[in-house]
Structure 1
């Protein structure tokens, strides 16, 4: 394992984080929050100083697959450990475990919070929470790949370890160019939403924070009501962009390079759209016809569309307390939590592509039993899914549910209801934000014990990094010198 290269990449992470924290300094100056300003400056100075000390360029700049996973896991842990410091130093989240939970929730684009009153937090810290979504949405190492000089397939090993989904392919021959294209699409869509919300007369600070949360599919609100206080037009804009950011970015790449047939041929994107449409229809019918919560069909459709878009993309914003919805509608949302968005998007969850492959594999096995002599392959987008991909998806699914079950078991020691604990793990492992019952949209995660918060923090990191980079940290042989 190339320890010198891991240290070098970590130095880039620290220096970049210090630079990104400067955005909160600007916000503090705009709103004259001179009490929190020195605290942010202290963290920035520490980031830059430590980054400079670790910045010695190694002779061997190659990163192999094993080192790639470890580098990504450690980079996210360091980034989170440092990113929590402003909350502690300002006294807005004095407990470090709570602050770590909050910023990990931000960077992993989860949106779960321990804050009981977000409106009491300074503008600088509110901005840092929301901006962390945008940073983590596409991946900080994907951004660094545009600048950092590494050899051979090292960049691809980093990108595979950080990018969400069962497989990462290069759009163009050079990974540097792939990262550049990804961020140009990401930035372009972000600016598009900012423009739309400003035209819809949303205040500029709200526009930036909500857009960062939408783009990263994060979900930190800056109001206690999340997005319920915004106008119907503003809510529809957020809904559309949440769904758009949950689409595989390969789809946008193909459209950008005038290949619409190939773009709309993507089974995952078509399935994603069908799941969203079906869920909206089912929930709308029930909450409008079977409850007294809605007197106008338009309101029911808007809330259903918003919550479906928010949950399947694992964004986590809310316009209503869906804890009050009937069980059928609530459990549709739970299934959407597990399903998640498309691979290659900023969304979390298991990913639609994995669900499709698992269903196709199930169909293949059933038909194989009926016709033992037949030879069948699992196909996706007209191409055969390789055995290595099938194996990785099967292993991922098994480990996913193992971590899910163990996490629910451990946090159950705190004595909360099964619905609360189950959806708390579903919300964090799938990077969603709110769950049901005690961790619903009108509640938060503050009541959990420090141990449970650390378990849920691990789940957020594991969910964002596709589990394996975090698990490798616990394999003793990985740390042996080779």
Structure 2
């Protein structure tokens, strides 16, 4: 059988995506005009991006996509977005000592933004030394990548809506795509409407706290910036010490929105249509919220018993109790669905607290959410499959299908979930070994736990790790080779590995 991919069609539509992506730079340009900083950076960036988009469109002005071309489009569009995202970083860093003036560092930061990973090479000083406009672009890349660049383009471009189901299936996080409306373009608009609505609600809440005097440094700029990074489970902040820079009221306000970001957004659409029971009848939602509740309780107890040095300064028992509960709720809500915010340097917590956090990192959000990781639905099916296999081993003649929410899970779906999880864990393990060996090559002291969490944090789009890679740390010390590997991990992790690896297989077979 001969396989052929019409790369010209895919690249032509990538040009369309890039062209429209340039319009999003108007947001940081507006901020640049207000603060009178880096105006030329975004004017030039917009012109360069439009030019690249128009040039790529000319490769195939009337593209026709098949399944293979759709797969290639999704993969290339995310890579192109990350490459385009480096332009403002490179221009702003030109002729300065900024870490972002190096192309690999700029690509790492851009890929981390669009894939909502939140890992950074900027360090404690770098975040606050750049302009408001550049930092707003950094925040905006996360928001664009959260619900998905292709989903956004399907919602606004009729030429992509024709192959919308195939494109969304390749980009959407999780093993299934739920069609909410008769037309896939309407489904894309519905998902973005819910996403946009929650973002606006959070921005208004954060700014209201500032107006009421409960969050002195959460001005409108910071409210918008953190609204752009919370709902996509991004984790970038405008402050070097992340959410620890803001009041306890802000920290509590962010917790429910981080949890919401890890829920299947299709459920919220059903709730808006009056189907309230759909939310609480969903098995994945119940397991997701139950896991959060259990892990928060366990971590709160560990912290209250002295698992974090910062809690020892709380004074009265009541203060320590509130602090322990807040830290536990915030960090579980942040790391379980890959947000990556922090209210304290959890890399300094004791081994028991860090083990709870590491366990949470492996769970992930729900399918159809903006959360990263393996996803709750996959763990559910895998655990039910293991139980089925143990039962059949004891009863060889029994026929026992795997059921989820009363429905039989197709065996092809099970094989796909198991294959993804195996690939995820294999790629994670091999990358951790490589990062450790490469760090030794350049004389960088990287502990095994740091190597493990660096690999997990990038392929799972989580962001911070442990040790020097903690929430207030940086990935800058890694070699360029390691940073390119982690950039690749962020890319394939956001696209859930299979689309990228499938293209490699198709290329080999062709």
TM-score above 0.5, yes or no: yes
Distance 1:153 1:50 in 2: 24
Shift of 1:338: 1.4
Distance 1:22 1:308 in 2: 35
Most deviating of 132-141 and 317-326? 317-326
Distance 1:216 1:375 in 2: 42
Q: Residue 62 of structure 1 contacts residue 150 of structure 1 at CA under 8 Å; is this kept in 2?
A: no
Secondary structure class of the residue paired with 1:432: coil
One of 220, 229, 239 as aligned partner of 2:245: 229
Distance 1:479 1:14 in 2: 30
Distance 1:261 1:210 in 2: 31
Distance 1:215 1:339 in 2: 18
Secondary structure class of the residue paired with 1:172: coil
Residue in structure 2 matched with residue 142 of structure 1 by the alignment: 151
Shift of 1:3: 2.8
Residue in structure 1 matched with residue 50 of structure 2 by the alignment: 48
Secondary structure class of the residue paired with 2:152: helix
Q: Residue 113 of structure 2 contacts residue 145 of structure 2 at CA under 8 Å; is this kept in 1?
A: yes
Residue in structure 1 matched with residue 192 of structure 2 by the alignment: 183
One of 379, 389, 401 as aligned partner of 2:425: 401
Residue in structure 2 matched with residue 28 of structure 1 by the alignment: 32
Distance 1:124 1:151 in 2: 31
Matches within 5 A, 1:243-392: 243-291=259-307, 293-294=310-311, 295=314, 296-392=320-416
Distance 1:176 1:96 in 2: 36
Q: Residue 63 of structure 1 contacts residue 157 of structure 1 at CA under 8 Å; is this kept in 2?
A: no
Residue in structure 2 matched with residue 75 of structure 1 by the alignment: 77
Correspondence 1:440 to 2:470: yes
Distance 1:205 1:305 in 2: 26
Correspondence 1:453 to 2:483: yes
Q: Which runs of 5+ in 1 are unaligned?
A: none
Q: Deviations over 1:305-344 (max 9, x none)?
A: 0100000120101001112222122111112111111110
One of 178, 182, 187 as aligned partner of 1:169: 178
Q: Residue 15 of structure 1 contacts residue 48 of structure 1 at CA under 8 Å; is this kept in 2?
A: yes
One of 65, 68, 79 as aligned partner of 1:66: 68
Shift of 1:56: 4.6
Secondary structure class of the residue paired with 2:155: coil
Distance 2:59 2:122 in 1: 40
| TM-score where L is the length of structure 2 | 0.91
Q: Which runs of 5+ in 2 are unaligned?
A: 211-217, 315-319, 441-445
Residue in structure 2 matched with residue 427 of structure 1 by the alignment: 457
Distance 1:382 1:468 in 2: 28
Q: Deviations over 1:351-372 (max 9, x none)?
A: 0000111111111111111222
Distance 1:369 1:475, change over 3 A: closer
Distance 2:420 2:294 in 1: 27
Q: Residue 242 of structure 2 contacts residue 472 of structure 2 at CA under 8 Å; is this kept in 1?
A: no
Distance 2:170 2:160 in 1: 17
Q: Deviations over 1:431-452 (max 9, x none)?
A: 0110001211121100000000
Shift of 1:476: 6.0
Shift of 1:144: 0.5
Shift of 1:251: 1.4
Note the aligned Cα RMSD (angstroms). 1.7
Distance 2:52 2:401 in 1: 52
| TM-score where L is the length of structure 1 | 0.96
Correspondence 1:410 to 2:434: yes
Aligned length: 478
Distance 2:12 2:62 in 1: 11
One of 131, 139, 142 as aligned partner of 2:140: 131
Distance 1:12 1:335, change over 3 A: same
